[in-house]
Amino acid sequence: MTESQSSKNSSLLALDIGSVNTKAHYFGVVDGKYRFLASGEALSGIGVPAGDLRLGATDALKQIEEITGHSFFYEDGSFSFGDNGEEIESGTMVSTFSGGPPLKVIALGLLDSVSLESASKLLKSNYCQVAAQFSLNERSPEKLVDAVSQERPDLILMAGGTNDGASRSVLRMANYLAIALELLPREKRAQILFVGNENLQTEIENLLGSLCDLHFAANIRPQLDEELLGPASEKFANIYLKIQSRKLNGLEQIQALSDGGSQPTARAFGRAIRFLSHVIDYPKGMLGIDLGASNTIIAAAFGGQLSLQVHPNLGLGAGLSTLLAESALPKISRWLSQRVGDVDLLDSLYNKPLSPQSLPVNEQDLAIEQAAAREVVHLAMARSLPALPKDVIYPLGGSPPWFDRILVSGNTISKAPRAIQSLLMVLDAVQPVGIATIILDQNNLTSAIGASAEVNPLLAVQVLESTAFINLGTVISPVGSASAGSVVLRIQIVRDGEKQDIVEVEQGKLQSIPIAMNSAVDVYVQPMQNMNVGLGPGRGGWVRRVVGGKFGLIVDTRGRPLILPEEDKARRELLDQWRHSLSEAQY
């Protein structure tokens, strides 16, 4: 395929519509391989004064037009996939969306520990808030009727009964639900997604089909010991987009133009993380973090098995309200290396949701935003840990498992003014254990790649392998108990078959060992004092083909969990010390 043919037949546009910004990404073939070529970003247009998502998408695409010379619009303003004014280009467009308010959902199931537990996992992987949930133990139909009438949910998720299992209890619940729906005007009735006993679908249709929009998906618990969330998650994604299309101008039209498909951002982001996990030896895993203005996504995958958690109303825009409600102010201010009064700190944090598109105007505002970013990610991680597999490596109880790679997306982290700021936000917020490579999605491409994987898997592979992502470095983080200043690690690097001098690292340090960018070395790690780097207490071993990142090989012996001094001056001095220890270590 020649380059001219590739530009005509293999280009791809990806639109990601968030609560604040719409991002457009353009991919094409260069020298026989797919590459990320250009991007544009504009305000999404949700709410006043724009009120139409097409305006933000148009502005973002016009920025790509200026960069590439490709034309995406006819003279009358209608969309095309054109090329320098020629006829329509045969490229593909995909879109992802996370911009609207989360869906309000009521969950129904038979048993708390079976169907409702699986329903909870399904809902946590999507943009929704659970207004109420009912199980077989809740035998009062009045409470269910009251909840539906008062909460006015967008969606009711109905689970229960294994295939060939319970039927009467499920149908009784459906009858209660029918009573609740009949009390509401047709336009106020929730949509229903039934993911229970598949043998009851005809009877459920007879009971509820004439009352509301009724959807079916495969049983999420076909057997007591079997959980199947994939088909229900796909159906939920479709319902989510349809409901949001009714609320937001322009979304339906953008979806219609997305010939390669449209899906929620979290679903696409999770797909990319799951894909990357296939190249990591189980039980180590892949962690993906997407920090947005209104939502934070935590995607963890082990051997292709994905745990996806969406934390709605937790972010650095409108989502700051949740952080302020759940975290004490000192938890945020502890990350500030400069003196900031509580009044100034609160003023900055309360004003950010009013204008989430605003950028920090000085060093203090930037420091506050990055401190809040640490705490948002830390809170999202703490919420997500209980859902992760129990059979993977946990070097320290209560800590994250051993992630081989950590990929981070979201403007506050990925587009920080200095790379050291991005790295420290990840290390402080996630507090990784073991040995992990930190990858920065500097262009926020992960969800676009996940969305494109279904229509063009080769594009996803080749862009992931390109320089579109930044390797910040591999970090070694031992866990255990040791006194400050004592040697806890001995590290030897073998470069091109030649052994380098052994480096001894003391407890409480954050330092970098030089490895040239993109060069590969072997590293032998020997923990001291029974410390654990993921291989077992006191056990050392080889780490093969460590690829040098922007900060070489990073060693973090600050301890887990990370504890800062209570005295303000000592704390600020320590934060400055950590920053300066890495600020000159770019290779």
Torsion of CA 46, 49, 53, 59, to 10 degrees: -120
Beta-bridge partner residues of 305: 302
What are 367-415's pLDDT values in tens digits? 999 999 999 999 999 999 999 998 888 887 778 999 999 999 999 999 9
Summarize the confidence of residues 171-180 as an average pLDDT: 94
User: What pLDDT score does 47 carry?
Assistant: 75
> Which helix (DSSP H) or strand (DSSP E) does residue 493 occupy?
strand 487-495
Q: What is the pTM of this model?
A: 0.94
Residue 519 DSSP class: -
- Does the domain at 3-97 match CATH 3.40.50.12280? Answer given as no
- The predicted-structure confidence for 109-149, as pLDDT tens digits, reads as follows 988 889 999 999 999 999 999 999 998 776 678 899 999 99
3-state SS track over 144-180:
HHHHHHHHCCCEEEECCCCCCCCCHHHHHHHHHHHHH
Q: What pLDDT score does 395 carry?
A: 81
CATH classification for the domain delimited by 267-583, as one of 3.40.50.150, 3.30.420.40, 3.40.50.1820, 3.20.20.70: 3.30.420.40
pLDDT at 348 over 60: yes
Q: What is the pLDDT of residue 48?
A: 66
Q: Give the Cβ contact number of residue 435 at 10 Å.
A: 23
Q: Is the pLDDT of residue 85 over 60?
A: no
What distance in Å separates the CA atoms of residue 508 and residue 478, rounded to the nearest whole number? 11
pLDDT for 55-81, tens place per residue? 999 999 999 999 998 888 877 777 876
Residues 6+ apart with CB under 8 A from 171: 200, 203, 204, 207
Residue 166: pLDDT band by 50, 70, 90 thresholds?
Answer: confident
Kindly state the DSSP code that residue 87 receives in the 8-state scheme: S
The mean pLDDT value for 196-217 works out to: 97
Mean pLDDT of 333-360: 93
- On whether the CB atoms of residues 111 and 163 are closer than 8 A, the answer is no
**pLDDT confidence bin for 4, thresholds 50/70/90:** very low
Mean pLDDT of the chain: 92
What tokens does 419 get? Answer: 């790379």
Structure tokens at 400: 């994250």
- SS3 category, 249: coil
CATH of domain 103-246: 3.40.50.2300
**557 close to 431: Cβ distance less than 8 angstroms:** no
Residue 9 has pLDDT above 70, yes or no: no
Adjacent-strand bridge partners of 312? 295
Out of 75-84, 253-262, 287-296, 475-484, least confident range: 75-84
Mean of the pLDDT values across residues 539-568?
Answer: 95
Residue 5, pLDDT above cutoff 70 = no
**Residue 586's pLDDT band (cuts 50, 70, 90):** low
pLDDT band at 511 (very low <50, low <70, confident <90, very high): very high
Domain boundaries of the chain, sorted by first residue:
3-97, 103-246, 267-583
Handedness of CA 66, 70, 76, 78 (dihedral sign): negative
Q: Which two tokens stand for residue 482?
A: 């040791």
Question: How far lies 184's CA from each of 181, 187, 243, 292, 389, in Å?
Answer: 6, 8, 18, 35, 42
pLDDT for 468 equals 93
Torsion sign (Cα): 542, 548, 552, 558: negative
Q: How far is CA 411 from CA 30, 165, 315, in A?
A: 27, 48, 11
Is it the case that residue 585 has pLDDT exceeding 90?
no
Is the pLDDT at 54 greater than 50? The verdict is yes
What pairing do the DSSP bridges indicate for beta strands 214-216 and 191-194? parallel
More confident residue, 297 or 68: 297
Within 10 Å of residue 85's Cβ, how many Cβ atoms? 10
**Alpha carbon distance, N-terminus to C-terminus of the chain:** 37
pLDDT of residue 90: 54
Domains 103-246 and 267-583 in one fold: no
pLDDT > 60? residue 7: no
Mean pLDDT value of segment 464-480 = 93
| Residue 367 to residue 356: CA distance in whole angstroms | 16
Q: CB under 8 Å to 246, separation ≥6 — which residues? A: none
Mean pLDDT within 241-268: 94
The pLDDT, as a whole number, for residue 394 is 87
